[in-house]
Chain A
Amino acid sequence: MERKILLKNIAVPGIRTFEVFRSTGGYRSVEKALKTMSPDEVVEEVKKSGLRGRGGAGFPAGMKWSFIDKKSDKPRYLICNADESEPGTFKDRFLMEKIPHLLIEGMICSCYALGAKTGYIYVRGEYKYIIGILNEAIREANANGFLGKNILGSSYSIDIHVHSGAGAYICGEETAMIESLEGKRGNPRIKPPFPAVVGLYGGPTVVNNVETLANIGFIVNQGGTEYARYGSGKSTGTKLISACGNINNPGVYEIELGLSVREFLYDPQYCGGIKNDKKLKAVIAGGSSVPILPANLILQTASGEERLFTYESLAEGGFVSGTMLGSGGFIVYDEDACIVRNTWNLARFYHHESCGQCSPCREGTGWMENVLHRIENGQGRTRDIDLLVSIAAKIEGNTICPLGDAAAWPVASAIRHFRHEFEEHVLHPERCGHDL
């Protein structure tokens, strides 16, 4: 039996409203935290839970919280990262649309733990209707005494506001998000100092993903140890996977970490196999930034073990034969997909979204797009393939923020695993049967 934490009550009619959410046990964690726990105890439980950030980087949440600079005399802030722009990722949207109070509840407990009096939810500008849903949830929480001044009669006051982005993938990077919240261009900051020391308006700030924060209520209620019973080994808890591409059942699924990729891909309760009975060609397992893997390597590691949805198993083999769990954006390619065209498409994305601060990223993403476009259009040269590898290698690790790496990995991994397809495009461009 599949165990769920986040989407357990998703089918309850009216779960989007405060009343119904509350009747399923919602907001109990706020009562428990404020009445029976100290902020540090909440942080301790989150540490014990083993919860790792669900936004992509997978940094342990409790550890990030413990970095908050307690000596600073500036106000502290919690920012919820709802920018969700990583291609293939649409789980946060699902969560906020269906069960927004889960996020608000988690944010209240998190603000309490961090000593933050203000939380902002930074929502990508394209999700306008989500902003309406969140504002309504905040209004309800306020009206019922769980938000605002003197929560539940305590001396603690918390405000949560929704802030809208305006179309920029880079604002999902935490320091770019802070800049953007301050009303500026989304240019990432050089770290250190980390946001936990100098963040929003110079105050200590924690940025966490929607899904990360939505887990906090459960952890407060049931304890970190109970949370850690979910999942597998060090990959504790559940993960929302947004599955898309050439599959029968695209959608958002909550899986317990440790599920096998094969089962997820072929079981009718998840993806239900490849559409139109085609063969599987490749998968990008964790959002467009992580390395693409060919069918054999996504189902099994290079050493022949079953590939599982855990941070460790997906990374098994490093960049030679592994990938990453990332944001949980699971993109499936069938046998007809053209890897060259897809790689060009993603290179164009990163070029478009580079903020332009660092030359390796600004120039390199442009060159990768151009060279790939040339190959895709039948004007490629054999040495272009190594040229791409070399550009990718020169971007990686040489930039202010990880967007540079995120742009380099898809190109490097596509060539690593599908070099023959690139060569074929250079030598016999007419043979690519792909008709868009």
Chain B
Amino acid sequence: MLDKKINHPLHGKKNKSFCFSDATMVKVQKIIARYPEGRQKSALLPLLHIAQEEFEGYLSVDVMDYVAGLLNIQPIEVYEVATFYSQYYLDSVGKNVIEICRTGPCAICGGEKMQQYLEKRLNIKTGETTPDGLFTLKAVECLGACGSAPVMQINTEFYEFLTKEKIDQILDELTLKAKEEKPEKSLWKEKFF
């Protein structure tokens, strides 16, 4: 079972109200239309991806309640799903989420060393976020890219055949990008959903 701790007290509910932008709402309607009448709950997984991206980078109780309302299902139906799948974050995360693969094929190609190096370079432990809020480091299971091991994924991008030098370069670039004045809003959901 996921070792995700549900240290996400429902009393953390702040009764903030959320609302997708009009453009996202169009997407949302299109996604719901992929499933038969009355089966709108099927859209839950895709919608949670979008909500996580559009709102705070993680799924707060208020966000989950909003999605429940959109799909006309009970909030508990959203919580039980959000706590099951590892790609939904229940706690706030940094601007960039680094997911380093820790599974066998990567491990025998130096993946564990890369994870250690990331911890050292970011000066945090796996699972933590840097104080400047730029990076969260997570270790995940096989990313389906074992032929290019060691592998990590940052946000939606894959980085393959990792070396220490490569990691330095990637992190430097991301740090620089974050400093630029107008952070470019990720466009993946425009392209991908």
Residues of A within 8 A of B (CB): 75, 84-90, 92-93, 118, 124-129, 131-132, 135, 161, 163-169, 180-186, 201, 242-246, 250-252, 288, 329, 331, 333, 337, 341-342, 345-346, 349, 351-356, 362, 436
B144 CB contact (under 8 Å) in A124, A161, A251, A331? A124
Query: How distant is the Cα of A331 from the Cα of B49 in the complex, in angstroms?
Result: 32
B73: chain A residues within 8 A (beta carbon): 183
Q: How many residues of B sit at the interface, in one of the four size bands?
A: 35 or more
B148 at the interface (CB under 8 A from A): yes
Residue in A201, A244, A337 whose beta carbon sits within 8 Å of that of B36 in the complex:
A201
Chain A residue at minimum C-beta to C-beta distance from B73:
A183
Q: In the complex, what distance in Å separates the CA atom of A132 from the CA atom of B192?
A: 4
Interface centre among A164, A349, A351 (most CB of B within 10 A): A164
What 7 pairs between A and B have smallest CB-CB spacing? A166-B85, A167-B87, A167-B86, A183-B41, A183-B44, A244-B146, A250-B147
B113's closest neighbor in chain A, by CB?
A436
Q: In whole angstroms, what is the CA distance A118 to B35 when docked?
A: 9
Question: In this assembly, does B63 line the interface, its C-beta being within 8 Å of a C-beta of chain A?
Answer: no
The stretch of B13-21, B103-111, B162-170 in contact with A is: B103-111
Shortest CB-to-CB span from A298 to chain B, Å, is 16
Given known pairs A126-B144, A128-B188, A245-B109, the reply for A201 and B39 (CB within 8 Å) is yes
Residues A166 and B42 in contact in the complex (CB < 8 Å), given A331-B104, A342-B104, A352-B2: no
Residues of chain A with a CB closer than 8 A to B48's CB: 166
Chain A residues whose CB sits within 8 angstroms of the CB of B127 once the complex forms: none
Complex formed: what's the CA distance from A276 to B125 in Å? Answer: 32
* Distance of A252 Cα from B145 Cα, bound (Å): 10
Bound Cα distance from A243 to B88, whole angstroms: 30
Known contacts A87-B103, A128-B188; 19 additional CB pairs below 8 A are: A88-B105, A88-B142, A90-B147, A125-B45, A125-B49, A128-B192, A129-B192, A131-B193, A166-B86, A169-B141, A183-B44, A185-B80, A242-B146, A246-B108, A246-B109, A250-B148, A288-B104, A352-B141, A436-B113
Which residue of chain B lies nearest to A127 when distances are taken between CB atoms in the complex? B144
Chain A residues positioned under 8 Å from B130 (CB to CB): none
**Smallest CB gap from A243: residue in B:** B147
- Of all chain B residues, the one with the shortest Cβ separation from A164 is B46
List, sorted by A's number, 23 A–B pairs whose CB atoms are closer than 8 Å.
Answer: A75-B36, A84-B144, A85-B141, A87-B142, A88-B104, A88-B105, A125-B87, A126-B143, A129-B158, A131-B193, A161-B34, A165-B45, A166-B87, A167-B88, A180-B45, A183-B73, A184-B41, A244-B109, A250-B146, A331-B105, A345-B102, A349-B141, A352-B1
